[in-house]
Amino acid sequence: MEDFISEIIFLLQRVNWLTILDIFLVSAIFFALLLVLRETQARTLTRGVVFLVILISLLTTLVNLPAFSWLVSTTLPALLFAIPVIFQPELRRGLERIGRAGSSAFDLRGAGMNMEVVEGMIKDVVKASARLSAYKQGALIIIERRDDLYEYENTGVKVGADISPELLLQIFYPNTPLHDGAVIIVEGKVTAAACIMPLSASGVLNASPDRQMGLRHRAALGISEATDAIAIVVSEETGAISMSHRGRILRRISADKLENVLMAFFRQQKEQHERTKISHWINKLIHFRETDK
C-alpha cells in the first residue's frame, strides 16, 4: 500500500502543463466519441469498453504485473481491429455528421430554390398530410435539403412529377403498388416513390412511452440520422402526424404547426445561402483589390 501511495505521489510531482494538455486532449476525444454514440445501441457497450480501458491502464501503470502486461500488449492489436468492426454503423454516422458540418458552408444544394416554389411545395405536403391524417392512411414523405438522396431514390420507383396533394394521396392509398415505402421530394417534384429508408438504430423510439411507433417512424428517424432530410410520418393506427430531423422526432403535431416548422427550416436555409453568397462576393472583391494593387 505504501508503494502504491508513493507511486501516486511520484506521478503527481511529474505533472506539468504538457501533462494537463495531454489529459485534456484524451478527454476531448472520449467526449467526442460519446457524443457520436449517444442514443445508440452501442452506448452501453461503449461505457463497458471505456471502463475496461481505464482499469487496464491503471493496472499496467501503477502495479507491476508482468504476465498481465504481456497479455494486454499481445491482444491490443486484435482489439484495435475489432473496435471499428463493432462500432462501424455508429462511426460511419458520426463521420457523416462531421462531413455535413464541414461542408455546410459550401454545399447549399437546393438553397437557391425560389421561395414561392418552396412555399407551394410545403402547402401541398401539409394539405396531403392533413387529409392522410383524417383518413388514417399511413405515409412517409422525405423532403431533400442539402444532402443528395439519389441512392435512396434508386431503391424505389422513379416518378418525376410535380408535387400535388392529389398525387400524394393517390400514392399512399392503401393496397396500391406504391403505397408501401417512402416518397422523396426534391425541389418541388416527387422524384421517387416506394423507396426503402434505413431504419434507426438509436434508442429514441425505445425510450418513448408511446409504443404505437412502427417501421415508418424508425425509417423516418433513420433517414434523418443518415442525412439532413426532413421526414414526415402519418401514423396508420392513430392518424397522428410526426416530423423527424437530425435524429430527433417531433410527435403529434398539427398541420398548422407542421407548416410553420417547415417554413422556418427552409427560410433559415435560404438566409444562410444568401449570407454565403454575400461573403463569397466580398472575398472576391477584396482579392481583386489586392491583386490590382
pLDDT at 189 over 50: yes
In a domain, 164, yes or no: yes
Give the residue, 193 or 53, on which the prediction is more confident: 193
Tell me what percent of the residues of the chain surpass a pLDDT of 70: 65
Grid coordinates given for 193: 416513390
61 and 144 share a domain?
Answer: no
pLDDT at 288 over 50: no
Predicted confidence band at 37 (pLDDT cuts at 50, 70, 90)? Answer: low
Give the residue, 141 or 83, on which the prediction is more confident: 141
pLDDT at 186: 92
134 and 262 share a domain?
Answer: yes
What single DSSP character describes residue 65?
-
pTM of the model: 0.63
What DSSP string describes 172-228? TSTTSTTSSSEEEEETTEEEEEEE--PPP-BSTTTT-S-----HHHHHHHHHHHHSS
Q: Residue 17: CA atoms inside 13 Å, Cβ hemisphere, count?
A: 0
259 and 130 share a domain?
Answer: yes
Residue indicated by cell numbers 438566409: 271
182, 142 contact by CB (below 8 A)? yes
Element (H, E) at 288: helix 255-292
pLDDT at 108: 42
Greatest mean pLDDT among 36-50, 109-123, 181-195, 197-211: 181-195
In a domain, 247, yes or no: yes
- Residue 192 CA to residue 195 CA, distance in Å, equals 7
pLDDT at 105 over 50: no
pLDDT at 111 over 60: no
Q: What is the mean pLDDT of residues 46-50?
A: 67
pLDDT at 19: 75
Predicted confidence band at 117 (pLDDT cuts at 50, 70, 90)? Answer: confident
Predicted confidence band at 104 (pLDDT cuts at 50, 70, 90)? Answer: very low
241, 218 contact by CB (below 8 A)? no
Predicted confidence band at 205 (pLDDT cuts at 50, 70, 90)? Answer: low
149 and 246 share a domain?
Answer: yes
Predicted confidence band at 106 (pLDDT cuts at 50, 70, 90)? Answer: very low
38 and 182 share a domain?
Answer: no
pLDDT at 179 over 70: yes
Predicted confidence band at 167 (pLDDT cuts at 50, 70, 90)? Answer: very high
In a domain, 285, yes or no: no
In a domain, 12, yes or no: yes
Q: Which tens digit of pLDDT belongs to each residue from 251-267?
A: 889 999 999 999 988 88
At 155, which CATH number? 3.40.1700.10
Residue indicated by cell numbers 442539402: 146
215 and 148 share a domain?
Answer: yes
In a domain, 108, yes or no: no
**Structural domain total, the chain:** 2
pLDDT at 69: 75
Mean pLDDT of the chain: 77
- Looking at 78, 103, 128, the residue that finishes a domain is 103
pLDDT at 230 over 80: yes
Q: What is the mean pLDDT of residues 170-181?
A: 91
178 and 246 share a domain?
Answer: yes
153 and 176 share a domain?
Answer: yes
- Looking at 57, 77, 103, the residue that finishes a domain is 103
Domain that holds residue 137: 115-276
Closest CA to 188 of 220, 163, 210, 160: 163
